[in-house]
Amino acid sequence: MRRSLVLAVAAVVTLATVSSFVATADPSDDGTLLVAPAAAGEPGARAEKSEPVAATKATSSAPVLSGCQTDAAYEVCFSSPGLKNGPDPAVVRRFISIFGEAGEGDSLRIAMFRWDIPATTKAIVAAQKRGAHVELVADADLRTKVAGRAVLQKIEEGDPAPGNVVVCRGACLPWSGAGPAPDSQDVNHLKLLLADIDGRRSVITSSTNFEGRQYTQYNSLARVYDDAFYAYGSRYFARLKAQRWEVGGKRWSDADKTYAGPPRAMVYPRRGDLLVETLRSVTCAPGMRTVDIMIAVVQRADVRAQIGRLALGGCNLRIVTTRDTIENWLQKPFRLPDGRLVDIPDDRVRWLITHDKVYAIHAKVAGRERRLVITGTSNSTCGGLLYNDEMMLRLDGKWAFHAYSAHVRDAFGHARQASTPIIPVMKPCR
């Protein structure tokens, strides 16, 4: 055994009472209107290495709506403020638990957009003190707040080897668009963790930043246990650190930015998109008509066109987004490139405060019945495709589909209809 002793320390989660909320615009994250608690609490941190928080094993029972569940290859976690009737730290708490499992000989490599939760900082610094190797590739947003600057300083000070912290100015990797980047884009938008703990390697990607207001938003986490995918993620991480697509004499083309899978994955910035690539191959048929969508921001006409095509094709749509104006844009009648008119029923599109990026589909995909999930870090925006650092996954199989579909249906049940007549004008990608 590499470690002779494991100290089990109980995880204590404390949340401050939230008596009121304030709406705040978040221009750095695709212009999304988010809600932050007036006084946010954080999950409690572990002082020493702790036993992992157990995830619910996959069974025939109902999927977990708040918390984590696993099958052979995947672990998924969800937060549901609607179910909790208030803040839900489930996804952030899982990251803290994973940090608490790491110690001597392990490694944690993180790419993160925002970070201001003290408990996550304490947990990652504690892992580093236990001997885990920690690397961080951060967006410049971390330098704009005292809490973010503290993260950078503590991780850098905790390792005598230089260069374990990289802060990118704008996106770490070169754009795939002609520019200029859309407003509030050109960022490292990742929420990515490459974990090697006790020799077991995994890739974790999530919709949640490490910031307290995320507790009041729907979020998810997907963890993939696969050595080959971990190696691919490591090659991507090396490029993020180097801030160029060429590392070790190998320059990545868009073809190299695709991982064949399973799981199928794409990293960004790039031309071409895992989401649209998949949606174009989807058709609905009797007994296979489910298209459940929860996406914080949709601004791309090509994504809306594919959703519209599926609506005309008899798919049973549930769509949740985070702004009433985006809801209006999606359900406003529009024409497809072939001239057909799409008018998605208003009661099929709702909004609530979500930060998630999920498409759960049971339909024919490339001509045969499939159940799959598309998830990751990217909103359906021009920035998320061409100008930001992002990762998107496609998880195949009944288990993942049922877990994420239940997550979307949970949010849909707590969502509401738009009360504003405003319909935004979305600019084309360039």
Q: pLDDT per residue over 354-410, tens digit each?
A: 999 999 999 999 999 999 999 999 999 999 999 999 999 999 999 999 999 999 999
Q: Is the pLDDT of residue 259 over 90?
A: yes
Q: Is the pLDDT of residue 128 over 60?
A: yes
Query: What does the pLDDT average to over 105-125?
Result: 96
The average confidence (pLDDT) of the chain is 87
At residue 2, the pLDDT reads 38
Beta-sheet pairing, 67-70 with 56-57: parallel
Q: Is the pLDDT of residue 16 over 80?
A: no
Q: Is the pLDDT of residue 248 over 60?
A: yes
Q: Is the pLDDT of residue 13 over 50?
A: no
What is the distance in angstroms between the CA of the first residue and the CA of the last residue of the chain?
54
Instruction: Give the predicted TM-score (pTM) of the model.
Output: 0.87
Q: Distance (Å, rounded) from C-alpha 83 to C-alpha 283?
A: 32
Give the closest residue to 168 by CA, choosing from 147, 152, 179: 152
Q: Is the pLDDT of residue 109 over 60?
A: yes
At residue 61, the pLDDT reads 64
Q: What ranges do the domains of the chain cover?
A: 70-264, 274-414
Q: pLDDT band for position 55 (50/70/90)?
A: low
Cβ contacts of 315 within 8 Å, gap of 6 or more: 282, 284, 289, 290, 291, 363
Q: Is the pLDDT of residue 1 over 80?
A: no
Q: Is the pLDDT of residue 107 over 60?
A: yes
Domain covering 70-264, topology? Endonuclease; Chain A (3.30.870)
Query: What does the pLDDT average to over 216-230?
Result: 97
Q: pLDDT band for position 98 (50/70/90)?
A: very high
Instruction: Kindly list the distances between the CA atom of residue 16 and the CA atoms of 37, 38, 72, 376, in Å, as whole numbers in the listed order.
Output: 9, 10, 36, 29
At residue 418, the pLDDT reads 94
User: How confident is the model over 274-332, as pLDDT tens digits?
Assistant: 999 999 999 999 999 999 999 999 999 999 999 999 999 999 999 999 999 999 999 99
Q: Distance (Å, rounded) from C-alpha 173 to C-alpha 254?
A: 13
More confident residue, 320 or 157: 320
More confident residue, 40 or 249: 249
Identify the bridge partners of residue 354 per DSSP, sorted by sequence position. Answer: 218
Q: Is the pLDDT of residue 8 over 90?
A: no
User: 70-264 and 274-414: same fold?
Assistant: yes
Supply the CATH classification number for the domain 274-414: 3.30.870.10
Q: Is the pLDDT of residue 161 over 50?
A: yes
Residues of the chain with pLDDT > 90: what percent? 82
Q: pLDDT band for position 62 (50/70/90)?
A: confident
Long-range contacts of 174-178 (CB under 8 A, 24+ apart): 174/244, 174/245, 174/269, 175/269, 175/386, 175/387, 176/254, 176/268, 176/269, 176/270, 176/271, 176/385, 176/386, 176/387, 177/269, 177/382, 177/385, 177/386, 177/387, 177/429, 177/430, 178/430
At residue 159, the pLDDT reads 85
At residue 72, the pLDDT reads 85
Long-range contacts of 116-119 (CB under 8 A, 24+ apart): 116/145, 116/147, 116/148, 116/210, 116/211, 116/212, 117/42, 117/43, 117/92, 117/147, 117/210, 117/211, 117/212, 118/42, 118/45, 118/147, 119/42, 119/43, 119/44, 119/45, 119/92
